[in-house]
Amino acid sequence: MARPLIAVVDDDAAQRQLLANALERAGYEVRLCPNGEEALLAAPECALMLLDVRMPGMSGLEVLTHVKRQLPALPVILLTAFIDVRDAVAAIKTGALDYLEKPVDLDELIAAVDDALGTSGRPTDTGTVELPGNVVAESPAMRTVFAQAARVAPSGATVLILGESGTGKQVMAEFIHARSPRAAMPLVNVNCAALPEHLVESELFGHEKGAFTGADAQRRGRFEEASGGTIFLDEIGELPLTLQPKLLHVLESGRFRRVGGSDELQVDVRVIAATNRNLQDDVKSGAFREDLYFRLNVFALTLPPLRERRDDVLPLAEVLLRDRKRNLAPATERALMAYDWPGNVRELRNALERASLMASGTLILPTDLPPQVQEAKLMEQPGRVLVGDMQEIQRRAILEALEKTGGNKTRAAALLNISRRNLIYKLREYGV
């Protein structure tokens, strides 16, 4: 039986390939179209079209109009970075079946395609991801994130890792690099927040001899060091605005000049970036370029804070104490579970290091923990919600449904007896 053919229409080559990989793993055939003109040529042979809204030349909405005029029965799902209500209304009126917000959740994408083609009963890839020994993912939330990371790792797509400070963004970058075809090549880590502003350009792109005072020799930058491998730009939100156009140029062309140099150099580098900032807010305020944000945000992974994945606290503690030959008393375990860990895994590591030094034997007692952890108390028992707090009741119900379904939004929506789109709205509303 022939597999359904899906047209993936997007001017971004990395985004096209990322979506194609997910669709092919799900059992579909894919036709890649870099622009609207090629999409119209491919449309008659396709069972469904995934269509980017914003493209140079013919826009997604223009393509949609032509497609619906020629092939009114062809399902079209739009892809958009920022949902514009007017565009959404116009698209639905023109005949779009659905729209997905970029960065696209691959599980949501496959579910939407399955729904559109009536193949929702087809088995999906739910294999367990093998994790390194120092990585803990007992909670459904972290298992889902690592499954997504494993899917994007083999591609060359740029990845943007989001999450609070201390949630393990560097560990995630190392995981993606290790599972990529570039694993044998360097992974170069750059903390953008730790670089003096006047040296950031030289650090990233290198400099020629005599380029500035103190430049007494030519120096390769981090991008050259990472050539053939991966560069991890941590705290990308701290990158000076004046340098952002040069980074955008490298992302788009792989070319740059050293400080003081006249020749353009070419590198083959995969970029993984991370931030604890809200880059969309920074774009609105003018602190971060919108075009650079779009280029970095090809595939986003959000690491949940430790307080939202308490199933990971004790397994993490066990891993962190492995080399210290220390054990936790039951009361100490309860104290660790009661605390909210605003500093996330980094704070947990520091607390256990202190406790190991304070412990008089091999058993860590609650009194060995930092004062703020000792004083923590669970404000409410798991599952207990105040009567009348309807928003909290709904939020808990959604989280419980997602946990039961391993993060599968389509099955969670079915459990809750709501539409998948309504579930997505609720998740955004509650900041989940």
Instruction: Give the pLDDT confidence of 229-279 residue by residue, as tens digits.
Output: 999 999 999 999 999 999 999 999 999 988 888 788 999 999 999 999 999
Identity of the amino acid at 400:
E
Most confident of 28-37, 70-79, 254-263: 28-37
Query: What global pTM score does this model have?
Result: 0.64
What's the confidence (pLDDT) of residue 331?
86
CA 123 vs CA 114, 119, 126: distances in Å: 11, 9, 9
Average pLDDT, the chain: 85
- Residues across the chain: 432
CB atoms within 10 A of CB 29: 15
Instruction: Encode 302-341: b = buried (16+ Cβ within 10 Å), e = exposed.
Output: ebbbbeebbbbbeebbeebbeeeebebeeebbebbebbbb
pLDDT band at 316 (very low <50, low <70, confident <90, very high): very high
What's the confidence (pLDDT) of residue 219?
84
What's the confidence (pLDDT) of residue 261?
81
SS3 230: strand
Count helices and strands in the chain by DSSP H and E runs: 19, 14
CA 24 vs CA 124, 299, 365: distances in Å: 11, 17, 52
Q: Who contacts 383 (Cβ-Cβ below 8 Å, separation ≥6)?
A: 396
Nearest in space to 158 (alpha carbons), one of 80, 227, 232: 232
Q: How far is CA 149 from the centre of its chain?
A: 8
More confident residue, 187 or 384: 187
Written as six digits, the tokens of 414 are: 């079915």
Q: What domains are defined for the chain?
A: 5-117 (3.40.50.2300), 140-302 (3.40.50.300), 306-374 (1.10.8.60), 390-429 (1.10.10.60)
What's the confidence (pLDDT) of residue 214?
72
pLDDT band at 386 (very low <50, low <70, confident <90, very high): very low
Query: Given a cut of 70, is residue 90 above it in pLDDT?
Result: no
Most confident of 43-47, 105-109, 126-130: 43-47
What's the confidence (pLDDT) of residue 281?
93
Contact status, residue 266 vs residue 216, Cβ threshold 8 Å? no
Q: Distance between CA 60 and CA 150 in Å, rounded? A: 30
Query: Given a cut of 50, is residue 388 above it in pLDDT?
Result: no
What's the confidence (pLDDT) of residue 98?
77
Q: Distance between CA 426 and CA 347 in Å, rounded? A: 31
Query: Given a cut of 70, is residue 88 above it in pLDDT?
Result: no
